[in-house]
Amino acid sequence: MTDVQSKPRPGLLARFEGLIREVGKFGVIGAVSFVVDTVVFNLLWAPLNTLVAGAISMTVAATVAFVGNRFWTWRDRARSDLRREYALYFFFNLCGLGIALGCLYLSHYVFGFTSQLSDNIAKNGVGLVLGTAFRFWSYRQIVFRKQPSVASGEDAG
């Protein structure tokens, strides 16, 4: 193997540098929101229905995530109307909530895994991964959309 083959191509790294940075920031915000979600869910798990506890905990965590993503992850993006961003953000959060609650529902009510541990794995494991991938795409492409550069002819995505 030659030296040229073992070094990353600077053009390729530079091309994805912004995306890598966004994913990293999104991940940090997601980790903080995950802790908030998990703590609130487990505090509410016993006194409330498992789906209600999940919906409340995810709503609280989504609010934390909106603030972090708007003012850190995508702070360099042009701002549109805050009400528009907030409404779209929560719409896509509801979609992500539906994905995670669907995983929780299937695990708890269809497959019969009713322990607190299995509910956490379904909601905060499988549901979290699927919902997070959907959220990242929708926030990046729709909510905090990059404005096209007129000078360079860049695409908005």
Q: What is the pLDDT of residues 84-94, one digit of tens each?
A: 888 898 899 88
Q: Is residue 60 part of a domain?
A: yes
Q: Is the dihedral of CA 73, 76, 81, 84 positive or negative?
A: negative
- Integer Cα distance of 151 and 33 in angstroms: 37
Q: Is residue 148 part of a domain?
A: no
Q: Is residue 150 part of a domain?
A: no
Q: Is residue 157 part of a domain?
A: no
Burial class of residue 98 in the structure, from the number of CB atoms within 10 Å of its CB (0-12 exposed, 13-18 middle, 19+ buried): middle
When divided into structural domains, the chain yields a total of 1
**pTM exceeds cut of 0.85:** no
Directed axis angle between helix 82-105 and helix 50-68, to 10°?
Answer: 150
Instruction: Determine which of 28-32, 47-51, 114-118, 150-154 has the lowest per-residue pLDDT on average.
Output: 150-154
**Rounded average pLDDT over 5-25:** 76
Q: Is residue 129 part of a domain?
A: yes
Q: What pLDDT score was predicted for residue 4? A: 52
Q: Is residue 110 part of a domain?
A: yes
**Could you tell me which residues come within 8 angstroms of residue 129 by beta carbon, excluding any fewer than 6 positions away?**
none
- Integer Cα distance of 39 and 61 in angstroms: 10
Instruction: Determine which of 8-17, 27-36, 132-141 has the lowest per-residue pLDDT on average.
Output: 8-17
More confident: 28 or 74: 28
Q: Is residue 2 part of a domain?
A: no
Domain span at 25: 10-143
**Could you tell me which residues come within 8 angstroms of residue 131 by beta carbon, excluding any fewer than 6 positions away?**
96, 97, 99, 100
Q: Is residue 134 part of a domain?
A: yes
Element (H, E) at 122: none
Q: What is the pLDDT of residues 124-150, one digit of tens each?
A: 899 988 998 899 999 888 888 777 665
